[in-house]
Amino acid sequence: MNDCIFCGIAEGAVPSKKIFEDDEIFAFHDIEPKAPVHFLVIPKRHIQNIMECGAGDGLLLGKLLLKARELACELGCGEGGARFVINCKADGGQTVDHLHIHVLGGRRLGWPPG
Ligand code: 5GP
Ligand code: ZN
């Protein structure tokens, strides 16, 4: 049995504040927002992280990124901008092992990350 929390969210078995859904993609607000706008865009298919992706995933990755961009604009970040982040494995700070793009906006973010 798959006990991945993001698979549960994508299936609707785990509640979330959904922003968008189609047959391949699910987007929802982060439960602990780090900015006024903070949502996650995930593939419905379980992919552990970006290191697991190959050439065959190019179309899906492109769709995820373009959907993240589109939703960022819909949520008011078109003018001020936003940050699009993919954390990967321990050094990247990944805590949920299901590929996700963070979109953060609505305030000026610092750089570099800690
Ligand atoms: P990571 O650290 O893996 O890059 O990001 C995981 C993100 O998922 C974190 O920002 C965390 O707040 C969010 N998160 C973890 N569990 C849940 C959950 O059950 N629901 C929602 N909406 N977000 C979650
Ligand atoms: Zn999963």
CATH number for the domain including 70?
A: 3.30.428.10
Burial class (CB in 10 A: 0-12, 13-18, 19+), 10: buried
What separation in Å is there between the alpha carbon of 45 and the centre of ligand 2? 7
Question: How many domains does one find in the chain?
Answer: 1
Is 12 touching ligand 1 by the criterion CB < 6 Å? no
Ligand closest to 44 (CA) is 2
Are 90 and 51 in contact by the 8 Å Cβ rule? The answer is no
Q: What is the mean pLDDT of residues 75-99?
A: 98
- Is the confidence at residue 89, as pLDDT, over 60? yes
Q: Calculate the average pLDDT of the chain.
A: 97
Which residue is associated with the tokens 């001020």? 80
Q: Per-residue pLDDT tens for 68-82?
A: 999 999 999 999 999
Is 38 touching ligand 1 by the criterion CB < 6 Å? no
- Is the confidence at residue 55, as pLDDT, over 60? yes
Tell me if 110 is assigned to some domain.
Answer: no
How many separate helices (H) and strands (E) can be counted in the chain? 3, 5
Tell me if 113 is assigned to some domain.
Answer: no
What is the domain range of residue 86? 5-105
Active site residue 29: no
- For atom 4 of ligand 1, the residue with the nearest CA is 94
Is 16 touching ligand 1 by the criterion CB < 6 Å? yes
E strands of 31-109, at which residues? 37-43, 82-85, 101-105
Give the confidence band of 114 by pLDDT, cuts at 50, 70, 90.
confident
Tell me if 22 is assigned to some domain.
Answer: yes
Is 28 touching ligand 1 by the criterion CB < 6 Å? yes
